[in-house]
């Protein structure tokens, strides 16, 4: 069997979550949801701030992020995040805003996924690749995703019969920075930017602290309070609680992310078939994208590109290939474009 790797970008979740250009508008609606159903409670949470204070801070940060994006000070949320992270070593306020941004992004994407149906293409894809049971995955298949959503987990819950994110991640073999590493010899889903939630290191191992244990939204005020508590946990509870949203470029600073990226690259060695879905290869991610291609070695034979703008994606791929050393690039790599995005493409080699 051919070794196959999928590489997913934001377009792969476009039927359930906003793409980059729509984030300011959607984030503004989320901000209003928090404002309209805030509790205004004076209860003091771990870290010393009241729920009321945290709600005020959350709304203020949302307003600032929305304003920055609307005025085009930053091309995307990811660009803003990297700027904050780069300046944080010498600017304490930038580090605070970086953590606050992670807290807001986590709650925002959880909210969007709780209140929108799963992108139906994930369900169809899982039905196609599963064998005789809901845990029978193709051993020759790995999935890399730049998305920090839980679309795979939510779609898979209808097959596993389990409603908890953590249980579905375990059965799906989901790997990410900070998550306990399991067997990487077979099928796996590797989240390059983590998942929108939190974890805590306990006894040397990450202990996942999910905001919710199912995919069902709660009454508005109850849900707002959960979001605020998650935000507080990421920022103020204690130094052991971290956001499991972990940008791939953090490998330059974080050992856990660095180790995760190294093991991810090991798992995709000698890939023969690459399927790219909804990913545009932005220059922003060029460093890791090159490493991904280098991990394929000279085994790579064919690249399928599925995107509404597949011509532009193909140009980006072709610009990466010449940069690779001869030993990690084959001059015979064939690029095949697929413009229809109704279902995730299944290569004949699968």
Between the two ends of the chain, the Cα-to-Cα distance in Å is: 8
Do residue 67 and residue 148 come from a single domain? Answer: no
Crossing angle for the helix pair 286-296 and 310-320, to the nearest 10 degrees: 70
Do residue 143 and residue 49 come from a single domain? Answer: no
- How far apart are alpha carbons 8 and 300 in whole angstroms? 18
pLDDT band at 180 (very low <50, low <70, confident <90, very high): low
In a domain, 283, yes or no: yes
CB contact set of 252 (below 8 Å; sequence gap of 6+): 258
In a domain, 271, yes or no: yes
In a domain, 343, yes or no: no
CATH number at residue 323: 3.40.50
> Is it the case that residue 149 has pLDDT exceeding 70?
yes
Do residue 34 and residue 11 come from a single domain? Answer: no
- How far apart are alpha carbons 304 and 159 in whole angstroms? 27
In a domain, 309, yes or no: yes
pTM for the structure as a whole: 0.88
Do residue 195 and residue 123 come from a single domain? Answer: yes
Could you read off the pLDDT of 71-81 as tens digits, one per residue? 877 777 888 88
> Is it the case that residue 275 has pLDDT exceeding 60?
yes
Domain encompassing residue 199? 4-15+118-208+249-338
Q: How far is CA 107 from the centre of its chain?
A: 13
Could you read off the pLDDT of 278-319 as tens digits, one per residue? 999 988 788 899 999 999 988 999 999 999 999 999 999 988
Task: Provide DSSP, 46-89.
Answer: TTS-BHHHHHHHHHHHHHHHHHHHHTTSSSSHHHHHHHHHHHTT
Domain count, the chain: 2
Do residue 146 and residue 171 come from a single domain? Answer: yes
- How far apart are alpha carbons 340 and 29 in whole angstroms? 31
CB contact set of 72 (below 8 Å; sequence gap of 6+): none
């Amino acid at each position: 069997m051919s070794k196959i790797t999928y590489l997913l970008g934001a377009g792969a979740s476009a039927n359930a979550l906003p793409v980059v250009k729509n984030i300011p508008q959607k984030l503004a609606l989320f901000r209003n949801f928090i404002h309209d159903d805030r509790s205004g409670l004076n209860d003091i949470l771990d870290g010393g701030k009241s729920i009321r204070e945290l709600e005020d801070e959350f709304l203020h940060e949302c307003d600032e992020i929305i304003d920055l994006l609307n005025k085009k000070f930053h091309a995307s949320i990811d660009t803003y995040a990297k700027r904050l992270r780069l300046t944080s070593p010498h600017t304490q306020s930038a580090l605070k805003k970086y953590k606050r941004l992670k807290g807001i992004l986590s709650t925002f994407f959880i909210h969007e996924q709780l209140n929108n149906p799963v992108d139906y293409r994930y369900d169809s894809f899982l039905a196609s690749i599963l064998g005789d049971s809901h845990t029978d995955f193709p051993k020759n298949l790995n999935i890399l995703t730049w998305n920090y959503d839980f679309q795979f987990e939510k779609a898979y819950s209808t097959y596993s019969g389990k409603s908890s994110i953590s249980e579905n991640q375990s059965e799906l073999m989901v790997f990410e920075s900070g998550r306990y590493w399991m067997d990487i010899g077979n099928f796996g889903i590797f989240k390059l930017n983590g998942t929108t939630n939190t974890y805590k290191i306990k006894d040397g191992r990450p202990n996942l602290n999910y905001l919710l244990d199912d995919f069902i939204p709660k009454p508005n005020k109850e849900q707002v309070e959960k979001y605020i508590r998650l935000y507080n946990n990421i920022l103020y509870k204690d130094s052991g609680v971290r956001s499991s949203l972990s940008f791939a470029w953090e490998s330059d600073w974080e050992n856990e992310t660095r180790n995760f990226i190294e093991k991810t690259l090991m798992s995709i060695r000698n890939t023969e078939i690459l399927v790219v879905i909804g990913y545009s290869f932005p220059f922003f991610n060029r460093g890791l994208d090159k490493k991904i291609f280098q991990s394929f070695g000279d085994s790579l034979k064919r690249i399928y590109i599925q995107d509404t703008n597949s011509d532009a994606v193909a140009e980006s791929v072709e610009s990466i290939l010449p940069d690779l050393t001869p030993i990690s690039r084959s001059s015979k790599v064939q690029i095949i474009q697929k413009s229809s995005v109704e279902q995730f493409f299944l290569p004949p080699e699968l």
